[in-house]
Structures are given as structure tokens and as C-alpha cells.
Amino acid sequence: MSPTDTVFVTGLAVHAYHGVMEHEQAVGQTFQLDISLEIDLHEASVSDRITSTVPYDEVVALAEKAFAAKRHRLIETAAGTVADALLSKFPKVTAVRITVHKPHAPIAATFVDVGVSILRTRHG
């Protein structure tokens, strides 16, 4: 039986230098990250111990570091880097969904949002 519980962080603002265009790589921009971690929270819900879950502050710190550590042309790559880092750090997490919103994407159009959402699951 897979867990259906979730720990999440929504709207995490991270300044980084991802993009295909030269000015994106030079100036950077602020991206918004939504992070959703699938984890069995039954033990945490009865024990009230932080060791039974994943600490939000550690999730945020690792996501910020992984997202901004290296410049990528594609936000798909940056999102994958964050997902891989979170799965590596938190063995209780069975799946990670990372959504990257790129509010200042260089598109000659009016839009509300643009971005990517990836799902990575633990193998084995």
C-alpha cells in the first residue's frame, strides 16, 4: 500500500539564472516553486515527533540550494535536480512533485502562468 499523505510547500520564491535567452542567464529572475512530497504520515500523526516526518525548513533549504546551484537552460532540468535532491535526502519520501512557475518567461503574449510540473518516484 502506498502512502497518500503529503507534505507541501507552495509558492517558494527562488532567484536563479535558468533560461535559453542570454538576458535570462545574465540577469536571472525569480521563479516560484511548488513542492509536494508523498510520505506516510501515520507515525507522525500519532507520535508528534519531527523524526517521523520531513522538516519543512530542511525541505525549503535543500530545494533553494538545488534549484539555484547551477544554471540550466531548461526549467525541466532545474526541477529534476530539486526532485532528485529531495529523494536523496529524505528516504521516507516515496514521490516528489515539483512545479516550477516562470512568471517572467520571454513569451510575446499575455499569460497568467507558464512552467513545468514533474513527478519523480523512488525506485525499488
Instruction: Write the CATH number for 101.
Output: 3.30.1130.10
Q: Which H or E run contains 47?
A: helix 42-47
Kindly report whether the global pTM for this prediction surpasses the value 0.75. Answer: yes
7/124 Cα distance (integer angstroms):
22
Q: State yes or no: is 102 an active-site residue.
A: yes
**Quick check: is 12 in a domain?**
yes
Q: How confident is the model at residue 22 (pLDDT cuts 50, 70, 90)?
A: confident
Q: How confident is the model at residue 1 (pLDDT cuts 50, 70, 90)?
A: very low
Cell of 53: 516526518
Cell of 65: 540550494
The residue among 93, 73, 92, 74 whose CA lies nearest residue 83 is 93
Number of domains in the chain: 1
80: containing domain: 6-121
Annotated catalytic residue within 65, 70, 92, 102 = 102
**Quick check: is 1 in a domain?**
no
Q: pLDDT tens digits, residue range 25-54?
A: 888 899 999 999 999 999 999 999 999 999
Q: pLDDT tens digits, residue range 57-97?
A: 999 999 999 999 999 999 999 999 999 999 999 999 999 99
